[in-house]
Structure 1
Amino acid sequence: MLEQWSMLGLLTAFGLAALVVLFNGLRITALADILADRTGLGEAVSGAVLLGAATSLSGTVVSITGAFEGHASLAYSNSIGGIAVQTAFLAIADLTYRKANLEHAAAELANLFQAVVLIVLLTLPLIALSLREFTIFAVHPVSLVIPAVYVGALFATRSLRETPMWRPVATRETRKDTPEREDGRTRRKSTARLVASFAVLMVIMGIAGWVIAKTAAEITGRMALSESLVGALATAVVTSLPELVTTIAAVRRGALQLAVGGIIGGNIFDTLFLTAADVSYREGSLYHATGMADHFWTVTALLMTGLLLGGLILRQRMGPGRIGVESLTLLVIYAGAILLQATHSSG
């Protein structure tokens, strides 16, 4: 149907969906912050679970749809490319927080652990690729391991928060995860009602993200770009817009652990796209149906996550332009990856 739309119509639909993401992203971040306090999950875990799932719905739809239609490269690169761009978004969020380096102020052990989990999950597709193709009902065993690791990590993170064995050093710039006072209107609402509101906003975000993905894919498709490039740069970027909005909104609210946890948690959730896509891809192993251009983004995402983890551990107070050196490096790496991918595709 979109093939019959004019370019103006596609751009209008894209813009309207982006506005929906903007306003709903602000509200869903506020609800996630309140639910983090009411449920006792904490901002880091709430960001990893609630924001991670809510802002990743549209990307899931893109990967499943692409894989089901036989576009393995698009499905894979949409997932991994989203992880890379969302990590870069955290560096952009650091630019909006002027008091100190975001990774210093948002000291939270759960986020460190989640970053380690993400590195483990990103290595699994590379392990699958290095072995001979083997599937069970056209699904690679690695796709079964990914959700198991994800669920296990959630339980481990909750345990880590309740009985931490390590604690970050508190400084004047460190922002603690403490419950905030709710306004009168929110205080009168039950937790169940807030959860229901969150679910409705989550669905709206997913629909808006799906519209963004479909219109952007059509726009870039008319430019005759490769599936890998479209997946990693077009659909991955536009379906990651909710993460950008919610992360900046969380920073502006002072919910720094929520902002960092939302990005890392969203990235971990994005690895589940691979499982969903592999199940939807009926021609064999999704990992063996992709090319080196797709796995280039896997390595890039690993590099960026490792650098982010280093920044969270080092906790530099201030860097160039009042952001951390790791944030600046993340932006340089992502920009360089785009340049290399674009040059390779055009060549």
Structure 2
Amino acid sequence: MDVQFASNSIGAMLNFQTFPFWLNIILFILAGVTVWISGTRLTAYADIISDRKNWDKASMGFIFLALATQLPEIVTNTTGALHGNGELVLNAMFGGMTMQTAVLAIADIFIIGTTTLSFAARKSINLLQGVVLILLLSLVLVATMLGDTVVFWHIGASPILLAILYILAIFMFLDYGKNNGWSVVNFSEDIKQKANPKDKRAKDSHTTKQLYLFSGLASSAILIAGILLVQTAESIATQSGLGASFIGVTLLASSTSLPELSASIAAVRLGAQSMAISNIFGSNLIMIFLLLPADMFYLNGAILNSVNDSAKFALVSGIVVTAIYVIGLIVRKSQTFLRMGMDSIAVLIIYITTLYILYTLRGV
């Protein structure tokens, strides 16, 4: 995400630039802790609800967790589009996809035992989600290369088509999860992870209605604290003199992925590896769907026509890192290096390389 994006896209809110540097630091830490705790608890609630309702955990991650953890970015992206920052919105959306996928590499470290995330995830629906994500990202890339055509008001044809395909994909995933599809059978029981007993007992004592209520409260906390996190990170980067630097931009971009990171780590600690992967793939697919509301709020024509080279490169990077995890889910190697699978290591390397190239293209 561009450093200027937060201040431009949320201009109607408080100006944190006028706050003392120390106060922004405190607010940033408090917001980060709130997002982390809320994301962790939301994942635990989703895990218990899926057990009680016999819902597929991967579908819960794809729809429930992905939507909740994307709430802050939904607000910042749509508001940015309303302010006419189409180029910055697209760079934030597409540039964040690789970072969100890299979250899986961090979650891989927290797998209990000597195995990898790709090996421990047994649900074939993750493969389906990854392939669909690659397909839709490829269509977005084609649309940015050929240009978009306005078909209604100032809205382009591509976001409408992509939104329809996203909705169809959701129904396909739900149907696939309902019928269970196929799953890995040569899976040792000793690899299955158990939730923290204390945490599990505490949350399993709530009624299902209470879990729904607590999930709503946790989602609201992620929304409010997530926006605060972005704003204070932007102010800290500017006030410290790092605003235009690689470190400053990375600080701001990293803060936007904190909800996904906390939810994904919590999921693997609960033994819900498929939910963790679905959360990230689902978050990236929601980004594609959000092109439509962003285009609706962008009043200067089809928003995809404001794409630049860095956004196109970010799309290619998103396709590559997703393909790497799809390969990892097929090959299913359990060997680890630095507590990660080779697919996660490759994704981290590509992510770091992508950061360097993106900020070079942006002239930072």
| Structures share fold, TM-score greater than 0.5 | yes
Equivalence for 1:124: 139
The answer (yes or no) to whether the contact 2:192–2:271 under 8 Å persists in 1 is: no
Displacement, 1:235? 4.6
Equivalence for 1:61: 75
- Provide closer, same or farther for how the CA distance between residues 220 and 289 of structure 1 changes in structure 2, counting only shifts above 3 A: farther
CA distance in 2, matches of 1:231, 1:66: 20
- Provide closer, same or farther for how the CA distance between residues 183 and 319 of structure 1 changes in structure 2, counting only shifts above 3 A: closer
Displacement, 1:266? 1.8
The answer (yes or no) to whether the contact 1:59–1:240 under 8 Å persists in 2 is: no
Equivalence for 1:158: 174
CA distance in 1, matches of 2:251, 2:224: 17
Displacement, 1:185? 5.5
Gaps of 5+ in 1: none
Match of 1:141 among 157, 161, 174: 157
Deviation per CA, 1:75-110, whole angstroms, max 9, x where unpaired? Answer: 112222222111101011112224301111111111
SS in 2 for 1:258: helix
Structure 1 residue 111 corresponds to structure 2 residue 126: yes
Q: Give the partner amino acid of 1:276.
A: P
Deviation per CA, 1:235-282, whole angstroms, max 9, x where unpaired? Answer: 542121011111111112222222122121222122223222111111
Q: TM-score, normalised by structure 1?
A: 0.90
Structure 1 residue 29 corresponds to structure 2 residue 43: yes
Equivalence for 1:281: 298
Structure 1 residue 266 corresponds to structure 2 residue 309: no
Displacement, 1:211? 0.6
CA distance in 2, matches of 1:265, 1:52: 5
Displacement, 1:178? 10
CA distance in 2, matches of 1:164, 1:194: 25
Displacement, 1:188? 5.0
Displacement, 1:13? 1.6
Displacement, 1:340? 1.8
The answer (yes or no) to whether the contact 1:220–1:234 under 8 Å persists in 2 is: yes
CA distance in 2, matches of 1:195, 1:216: 31
Match of 1:172 among 180, 188, 195: 188
CA distance in 2, matches of 1:50, 1:30: 12
Equivalence for 1:39: 53
Alignment of 1:1-347 (within 5 A): 1-97=15-111, 98-135=113-150, 136-172=152-188, 186-187=203-204, 189-220=206-237, 223=242, 225=244, 233=250, 235-346=252-363
Aligned residue pairs total 345
Give me the identity figure in percent.
30
Displacement, 1:220? 4.1
Q: Give the partner amino acid of 2:36.
A: L
CA distance in 2, matches of 1:268, 1:230: 28
SS in 1 for 2:362: helix
- Worse-superposed segment, 94-103 or 325-334: 94-103
Q: After TM superposition, where is structure 1 displaced by more than 6 Å over at least 4 residues in a row?
A: 176-182, 229-232
Q: TM-score, normalised by structure 2?
A: 0.86
Displacement, 1:174? 8.2
The answer (yes or no) to whether the contact 1:43–1:177 under 8 Å persists in 2 is: no
The answer (yes or no) to whether the contact 1:78–1:232 under 8 Å persists in 2 is: no
- Provide closer, same or farther for how the CA distance between residues 159 and 193 of structure 1 changes in structure 2, counting only shifts above 3 A: same
Displacement, 1:170? 2.4
Gaps of 5+ in 2: 1-14
Displacement, 1:314? 1.0
Q: Give the partner amino acid of 2:315.
A: T
CA distance in 1, matches of 2:130, 2:193: 19
- Provide closer, same or farther for how the CA distance between residues 167 and 91 of structure 1 changes in structure 2, counting only shifts above 3 A: same
Equivalence for 2:10: none
Q: Give the partner amino acid of 1:99.
A: T
- Provide closer, same or farther for how the CA distance between residues 218 and 69 of structure 1 changes in structure 2, counting only shifts above 3 A: farther
- Worse-superposed segment, 109-118 or 263-272: 263-272
CA distance in 1, matches of 2:203, 2:236: 41
Root-mean-square deviation over aligned CA pairs: 2.7
